[in-house]
Chains A and B, each alone.
Chain A
Amino acid sequence: MRTRRPAVLVATVAAALMLTGCSGVGGADVPSPSRSQDALKGTVTVLAAASLAQVYGQLATEFEKLHPKVTITQSFGGSSALATQIVQGAPADLFATANEVTMKPVTDAGLTDQTPIVYATNVLTLIVPPSNPAKVTTVGDLANPAVKVALCDKAVPCGSAAVTLLAAEHLRVTPVTLEQDVTAVLTKVELDEVDAGLVYVTDATTAGNKVTQIAIPDAANVINRYPIALLKNSSNKAAARAFEQFILSTTGLAALKRAGFGTP
């Protein structure tokens, strides 16, 4: 559908370049809501990793205040599921995953409009329900068969990170469930249905006092690097690029930092 409108695409790309001042992406300046950017309008569809839901939600609201004619529509889920959707032709403008592996199928299919930019990192943390029913104190306790553990399935980034972490610690863990995304693990701990789970430190931060966090020593931890990329089939590249710039701006990076993300 989109390929039938090359003229429109060229025009929007040109507009995008003009609006962003041809900037190399990844810059740290705050994009001031200059008059020229008020020309931005339409909908920007963002597909992003479940762990980004909170921050991207906030940033979208702020962005829409700066550019009232733009509506940001976001869909959050497991990075690999989203990647599959894009490869299968889901219409989207921006794609942000929770690691580089899950971004790869999309870049391999030639569907990104730029080299993905890594702008944030995330590490795993151990969470337990506030009552800590199984008296978990370290990652080592996860190997205890009496402790009910929820992990992400290894198909999604939080799961592959968990596998790497547990292997590095030489722990044999038999979880009761392997969830389809990180939010599902968080929910199971919040509801007190499992004794412990491995989630991103950012999810634990978001959950506040609904879960108790037990930090994992840095040396042992796995660092997930978060890439974002504009998509080739975007039908609103000007606004999409502007929102990407906003995420990569000092405002965006500060919000990410508050949520617990690290810098690459």
Chain B
Amino acid sequence: MTGPLLRIEGLTKRYRPPSPLPFLNGPPRTVLDAASFTLAPGEALGIVGGSGSGKSTLALCGVGLLRPDAGRVVFAGRDVTGERAPPGMQMVFQDPKASLDPRRRIAAIVGEPLRPAKGEREGLVAEALGEVGLDPAVGGRLPHELSGGQRQRVAIARALVARPRLVWLDEPVSALDVSVQAQVLALLWSLRERHGLAYILISHDLAVVARTTERLVVMEGGRIVEAGTTAEVLARPCHPYTQTLLDAVLPFDPKAAKARLERFRRDRPRGA
């Protein structure tokens, strides 16, 4: 297929701030403001921004869990705006503890996106578990019997079992240890190489997307403020907010890290 796999066109979402008296509602707050980008088949895109930047809202509108107030989501040539998890598209959330049903066995959780009639269900579940580096025997266990990293792998296996072409991942590693983070990120990259899977990786941490994405979108206050190839944006950030995010990644060298912290202590905003 030629052309983009995903086209996000002017997605906008507004919320009304809650008020004790309905008629006193303030003006709606725009949390996502005309966001647009495209994604090629098999491409890895990073979306970075702080809390409140609209990155999670963008993902929820993108997979149809939220209906946008304006704009379109075009997936594989079809308008899927507001359609819940259209075929070929999946999502992985930040906290696997919250997104996996604690009472269901792993095999049932992973098999969820498969149609009930599908005969080779068991085989597909075992294959998906194997792909994320889990022993298929894990299928008989319950989520609480697994570690945080294993649970996030289960969430990824569930997203992969129906062979999607695109997976949105909202902060998939920020609840995980550095060493487990590395495992999950390496896994994503290898799935992309093996299956041509396209993914959108959302994070507040630029170091997380530096290695695992080809293109980068930077969001602030609901708007896309910078976009480009990951290498370009990291080497030559144009927007001041991108620079702020870059500065927030502490260097590994103790001297450089302490110097960076000194700078924060001199000119940090109070009470932020």
Asked if chains A and B come from one complex, the reply is: no
* Residues of chain B having any CB pair with chain A under 8 Å: none
